[in-house]
Structure 1
Amino acid sequence: MPLLLAACGAKAEVEARPAMWLVEDADTHIYMLGTMHALPAGTDWNRGKIAEVAKSADELMLELSPQQLAQAGMVFQSLAPRDKPLAMDARLPAKALANYRKLEAGTDFGGDKLDDWAVLVLMGQRVAEQAELSSAAGVESGLTASFRAAGKPIAGLESAKAQLTLFETLDPATQRTLLVQAAENADNALKDVSAMAAAWTRGDTQALAKVVNEDVDAAPAARKAIITDRNRRWSGWVKTRLERPGTVLMAVGAGHLVGTDSVPAMLSADGYRVTRVQ
C-alpha cells in the first residue's frame, strides 16, 4: 500500500535479496516480486535475478499504475474527511492518545477532521519519515524508471480510489480497533518498521509474515478486506494472464506474497506450479 510509506532518508548502501516467485506454463512466465514501497536510500535490491527478470520481462504489473499513483493524494483528500469532526481524545484511551500526540508533534495531522483510517495512514507516513524511508528508493519507483526507459508497458492491479476505498469502507469498529492498536504500539513502530525492512532485505518470508500478521490479526475484517480478498483477486489476475504468452514482472507489497493466504499460497492450492526463484 504505497501511501503507508513515504518519506526521505540517507543510509549506507545495503545489498538486498528480497523474495521472488515464478508461476509459469509452457509459454507464460509471471515473476512475483515482494516489494517495499519505500526504503532507506542506498538499498541495492536491483541486481542479480531481479535485474535479469526486469530486463527480460515484456511488461510490469504494479498495485497502482504510475498514473493512478499520481492521483492517490487527491483521492485521499477526497475520502479522508469525516462528516463531523471528532476529537482524538474522544477516540483514543490515555496511553494511545499520549503516543499519538508524541508521534504528531511538530506536524499537523488535522486528525479531528479525519476518519480513523485516514489518521492511521498519516501515522504510517510519519513513522516512515522517522525511519528515514524514501519512496524514491522504493522498488516500484526503481522498476517504473527502468521499464519506462526501456519503453515497456506498466499497468496496475487496482485504481487509487479502489485501493483507498478498501479502508474507507471498513466498518467503524474495525477502523477504531486499528487506530487504537497503532497508537498504543507507536513506541515500537520504528522497531517494527526496521524489523520488516530487515526481513525483506534478507528474503526471510517467515519473519516478514510475522510482522505483517501482527498488524492486522487483531482486526479480522481488515485482514479479509486489505489482504485476503485482494490476494484472491490478484491470484485471479495471474490465472487469466497465464492464458496469454509472455513474461511479466508483477511487483506488489511483500506482505501479499507471504503467509497462508498469500498469492503464491493461493495459486499453489489451486494446482499451479509456483517456484521461489530468489
Structure 2
Amino acid sequence: MRFTLALPLIALTAGAPLAATETEVTSAPTELVCEAGSGQKLSDIEAVPPVQDYEPSPAMWKIADEDTTIYLFGTYHVLPEGFRWRTPLFDKVMAEVDEVVFESRDDEEVEPGDLSVDQLRLMLLLREYRSDTPISERLSEQNREKFLRLLDAADIPAARVEHGPPLMAMLAIVMAMIEAEGSQRELGVETIIEAEFKESGRPISAIEDFIQVLENMFNIDEVTMIDALEQGLTEWDGCELFDPADVDWSNEHSWAQGKLDAADLEEMFEDPFGKALYEVLLTDRNRAWTDWVVKRLEQPGNLLLAVGAGHMEGPDSLVTMLEQRGVTSNRIQ
C-alpha cells in the first residue's frame, strides 16, 4: 500500500521558507526491508510529468473602486516543469499593475552560509517548541519503525525533525513527496511572478508574517497532530511510497482550468486535525486578508494580489468574505 498523509491543506504552505536545527537523537534510520521492487527511496523515483490537453485559464478576479484596482489571482506554489498556466489576460494584467503582493516572502539578501532574519526567527521558534521526547517515541510501537523508515526513504535526517513540532515533520515529508512527484518551488507561480517584478524594478511585498502563521499552526493540539500522523502510517505498508505513473495531477489541472472545487477542503472536516488546520490556514488568514483588502482600497493604486488558490474556494473563501463586507470581486478569468 502506498503512503498517503491526509493533509491536503499542508500543500498551501509549500511556498513557505523552511529551516530546522540539528539535534542529537537516539533513534537511528531504519533500513528498508521490503519485497523486491517495493522498497522505494524518493530519490530513486523518476517523475512522470502531467499531460495538458487544454488551454489554461486559472481563476482571476478584479476588485475596483474610483482610484484603486486589485487583481486577485489564485496561485499554485509548486508546479512540475513545463506545466502551462499563463494566459494573454494574465500577461496583460502583469504589464499593467504597479506592484505585487504575496502571502509571504523572505527576500533579504545575505552572504552565502548566512541566515536571513526570518530564518533566524524560525530557528528560535523551533527551539521554543522543541520537545525532549522524539516524535517517534510518541508514536505507537507498530508505527515507530514506519516513521523512521519514511524519513530515511525521503532522505530527511531524523535529527532535523524528531524533537521539533510534529507539524514540521509532516511538512518535510509532504514537501519531499511533492518534489519526488516532479513539482518544484522554483517553478511555482509566485517564483515566476517575483522574478519578473524584480527585473522590472516594481515593488514586491507580503500580506502577512508567515513566521506568525507557523506559530499558530504549531499551537494546534499536538495529540491531534500525532493522531493524524498515526493514521497515515497505519494505512501505509512501510514499503511503497507511490507509483510515478499514477500520480494524481487532478488538483493542478483543475486549478489551471479555473475550476473551483471545495471537495478536498470539505474532506478535512472529517478529521479533527484537518478541521484545526483549516481554521488556522484558511479561515483565520482569509479573515485577516479581507481586512487588508478593505483597508488597501482606501489607497489609490493598481496591484496584483497573488495568493494560494485554496483561499478562493469553499464557504470561508477570501472572495466570499469580501462579498460579506460589501466588496465585489468580479471574476475576469
The TM-score with structure 1 as length reference comes to 0.85
Pick from 139, 142, 150: which aligns with 1:91?
139
Q: Which amino acid aligns with 1:2?
A: A
Q: Which amino acid aligns with 1:83?
A: S
Q: Deviations over 1:92-126 (max 9, x none)?
A: 57469647734641513424322211111111111
Counterparts in 2 of 1:216 and 1:114: CA distance versus 1, 3 Å:
farther
Contact 2:101 2:304 in 1 (8 A): yes
Q: 2-side partners of 1:200 and 1:100: how far apart?
A: 34
Q: 2-side partners of 1:93 and 1:146: how far apart?
A: 50
Where do 5+ consecutive residues of structure 1 fail to align? none
2:145 maps to 1:105: no
Contact 2:17 2:106 in 1 (8 A): no
For 2:207, what is the secondary structure of its paired residue? strand
Contact 1:227 1:256 in 2 (8 A): yes
Q: 2-side partners of 1:189 and 1:213: how far apart?
A: 26
Q: 1-side partners of 2:205 and 2:16: how far apart?
A: 20
Aligned to 1:233: 288
Q: Deviations over 1:33-91 (max 9, x none)?
A: 11111100112223322111111111100011342796665544443452213242532
Pick from 294, 306, 324: which aligns with 1:269?
324
The alpha-carbon deviation at position 175 of structure 1 amounts to 2.5
**Superposed counterparts of 1:1-278, under 5 Å:** 1-3=13-15, 11=49, 14=52, 16-67=56-107, 74-80=120-126, 82-88=130-136, 90-91=138-139, 94=142, 98=146, 101-102=149-150, 104-105=152-153, 107-110=155-158, 111-183=161-233, 194-206=249-261, 209-215=262-268, 218=271, 219=273, 220-278=275-333
Counterparts in 2 of 1:71 and 1:179: CA distance versus 1, 3 Å:
farther
Contact 1:4 1:124 in 2 (8 A): no
For 2:103, what is the secondary structure of its paired residue? strand
Further displaced range: 180-189 or 244-253: 180-189
Contact 1:9 1:134 in 2 (8 A): no
Contact 2:181 2:247 in 1 (8 A): no
Q: 2-side partners of 1:9 and 1:241: how far apart?
A: 42
Report % sequence identity.
Answer: 27
Q: 1-side partners of 2:270 and 2:162: how far apart?
A: 26
Q: How many residue pairs align between the two structures? A: 276
Q: 2-side partners of 1:259 and 1:211: how far apart?
A: 10
Q: 1-side partners of 2:152 and 2:268: how far apart?
A: 20
Q: 1-side partners of 2:150 and 2:249: how far apart?
A: 19
Which protein has the larger Cα radius of gyration, Structure 1 or Structure 2?
A: 2
Q: 1-side partners of 2:118 and 2:280: how far apart?
A: 19
Q: Deviations over 1:217-238 (max 9, x none)?
A: 5232222112101000001100
Contact 1:117 1:179 in 2 (8 A): no
Where do 5+ consecutive residues of structure 2 fail to align? 1-12, 19-42, 110-115
Q: 2-side partners of 1:151 and 1:229: how far apart?
A: 32
The alpha-carbon deviation at position 184 of structure 1 amounts to 5.3
Q: Which amino acid aligns with 1:239?
A: V
Contact 2:143 2:230 in 1 (8 A): no
Counterparts in 2 of 1:189 and 1:74: CA distance versus 1, 3 Å:
farther
Q: Which amino acid aligns with 2:65?
A: D
Q: Which amino acid aligns with 1:176?
A: I
Contact 1:21 1:275 in 2 (8 A): yes
Q: Which amino acid aligns with 2:309?
A: A
Q: 1-side partners of 2:235 and 2:318: how far apart?
A: 28
Contact 2:99 2:204 in 1 (8 A): yes
Counterparts in 2 of 1:71 and 1:204: CA distance versus 1, 3 Å:
farther
For 1:43, what is the secondary structure of its paired residue? coil
The TM-score with structure 2 as length reference comes to 0.72
Contact 1:9 1:41 in 2 (8 A): no
Q: Which amino acid aligns with 1:210?
A: A
Q: Which amino acid aligns with 2:136?
A: M
Q: 1-side partners of 2:58 and 2:64: how far apart?
A: 20
The alpha-carbon deviation at position 19 of structure 1 amounts to 1.1
